[in-house]
Amino acid sequence: MIYVKIYYQFGETMKPMDIISFAGKNITQKRTQSLLTIIGIVIGIVAVVSLISLGYGVQNYIQEETGKLGANKIQILPMKQFGIPPTKLFEDKDVKAIKNTNGVDEVLYGWYGGVSIEHRDEKYFTSLFYAEPSTIKSVYSDVGGYGIEKGRWLSNNDKYKCIIGYGVAHNLFKKELGVGDAIYLNGKKFKIVGIMSQVGNQQDDNMVIIPMSSGEELFNKKGEYNYIMVKIKNGANVKKVSNNIKNNLKKSMGTDDFSILTAEQMAKSIGSILGVLTMFVAGVAGISLLVGAIGISNTMHMSILERRKDIGILKALGAETTTILSIFVFEAGFLGLLGGIVGLIIGLIIAKSVEIVAHNMGYGMIQAWISWELIVGVLVFSFIIGVISGYFPARSGAKLNPIDTLRGL
């Protein structure tokens, strides 16, 4: 008869602190049952928190990185959608059409592809980009995150020389590579003249950059390009220049099967894709929360069955139906909140651990997003889940007839 011991007079409406006290004592008296119920919520919250934290962390990183390209940069790809092979590659006449567009300052054009890289007895496959050396330096030297850690940029007089990414230099081979070392690309010897600073994503950090002349010879792709970046003149209207480039390029190629992306458009496009993916994965993880909610509902139902006489005594002493309902609803809410607190802590620890491991492996784009919005949102959400789960069992218990409960019916 825990209620009689704690509160013996209901001449006045129970105070909120009394309701909270009752709910808390009910949880502590049934520790094992409460713990098992909380575990269900913890599992769901851990999954949701870790996935949302990592998902939005990656999304924010990519948006920041695309923003580093600068508002005066436009990227052009020979395809309408990512993942679909291009029907037609860019040619010299297409590059010329872009250069002749008003507002264009510099045009970087070249080829992205894969290449076999070998050093001593080790052989791997990595990414490669070739373009005119002077243009590479001009366009990328003012882009945030793209710089030279050691050595220098390529020059137009370089032949069979290369710049390697941070990952190629420090992580790819057993022994780190340095300026002056030699590597073999598709069997051809190249001398390293520069090492890029760490960018944070595998594609750029595991990149090898070589001069246009060497690349065309190595891949036998004279006058064909699959990537163009345009640097817009200071003060020019990026949107207007972008539209003019689109019109000129369409005339030159005879098709509009290409994509023109400003830094803002790319950030929005990638952000929307990652946002949908994050919410989808979090929704799947939410199934665990549903299981936890059912556990709370079941616990409250069993609790009410076990406390029928207590409910009868409270009603006999004058407790209102809303008071009884509040006690059990708060108890269910506390179960959800406790599960939310524990799940939040574990989820953030997991997300941060994944970030640390990913960074050590060279995946700088994997980041944990931790903010007060996430913390407060998860705690409020877990409390609401508990309240909703416990409401209907509590409602049935609050409506019990005190005479029947005291008789043990």
pLDDT per residue as tens digits for the range 133-187: 988 887 776 665 678 889 999 998 898 999 999 989 998 898 999 999 999 999 9
Judge whether 162 and 209 are in contact, CB under 8 Å.
Answer: yes
H or E element, residue 42: helix 31-68
- Of the CA atoms within 13 Å of residue 348, those in its CB half-sphere come to 12
Nearest in space to 132 (alpha carbons), one of 100, 110, 99: 110
- The pTM (predicted TM-score) of the whole model is 0.60
Cα angle 79, 243, 253 (rounded to 5 degrees) comes to 45
Q: Is the pLDDT of residue 40 over 80?
A: no
Alpha helices in 224-262 (DSSP H): 238-253
Q: Which residues contact 94 (CB under 8 A, 6 or more apart)?
A: 249, 252, 253
Provide the β-strand partners of residue 182.
191
Residue 182: strand, helix, or coil: strand
Find the mean pLDDT for residues 198-211.
84
Q: What pLDDT does 305 receive?
A: 64
Q: Is the pLDDT of residue 214 over 60?
A: yes
Report the percentage of the chain scoring pLDDT > 90. 22
CA 204 – CA 148 distance, rounded (Å): 13
For the ranges 100-114, 239-253, 301-315, which has the lowest average pLDDT? 301-315
Report the percentage of the chain scoring pLDDT > 70. 70
Q: How confident is the model at residue 399 (pLDDT cuts 50, 70, 90)?
A: low
Output the CA–CA distances (angstroms, integers) from residue 382 to 278, 333, 394, in the order listed: 19, 8, 18
Output the CA–CA distances (angstroms, integers) from residue 341 to 39, 214, 278, 383, in the order listed: 11, 58, 22, 10
Find the mean pLDDT for residues 377-386.
84
Q: How confident is the model at residue 92 (pLDDT cuts 50, 70, 90)?
A: very high
Residue bearing the bigger pLDDT, 221 or 400: 221
Q: What pLDDT does 402 receive?
A: 58
Residue ranges of the domains in the chain?
Answer: 2-65+269-407, 88-256
Residue 51: strand, helix, or coil: helix
Listed ranges 18-32, 112-126, 255-269, 276-290; the one with the highest mean pLDDT: 112-126
Q: What pLDDT does 271 receive?
A: 65
Find the mean pLDDT for residues 24-38.
68
Backbone angles phi, psi at 398, to 5 degrees: -70, -20
* Tens digits of residue pLDDT in 55-86: 778 777 766 666 655 667 888 888 876 666 67
Q: What pLDDT does 182 receive?
A: 94
| Helix 31-68 and helix 16-29, axial crossing angle in degrees, nearest 10 | 110
| Helix 321-360 and helix 263-306, axial crossing angle in degrees, nearest 10 | 140
Nearest in space to 126 (alpha carbons), one of 75, 177, 76: 177
Nearest in space to 75 (alpha carbons), one of 50, 107, 53: 107
CA 124 – CA 118 distance, rounded (Å): 6
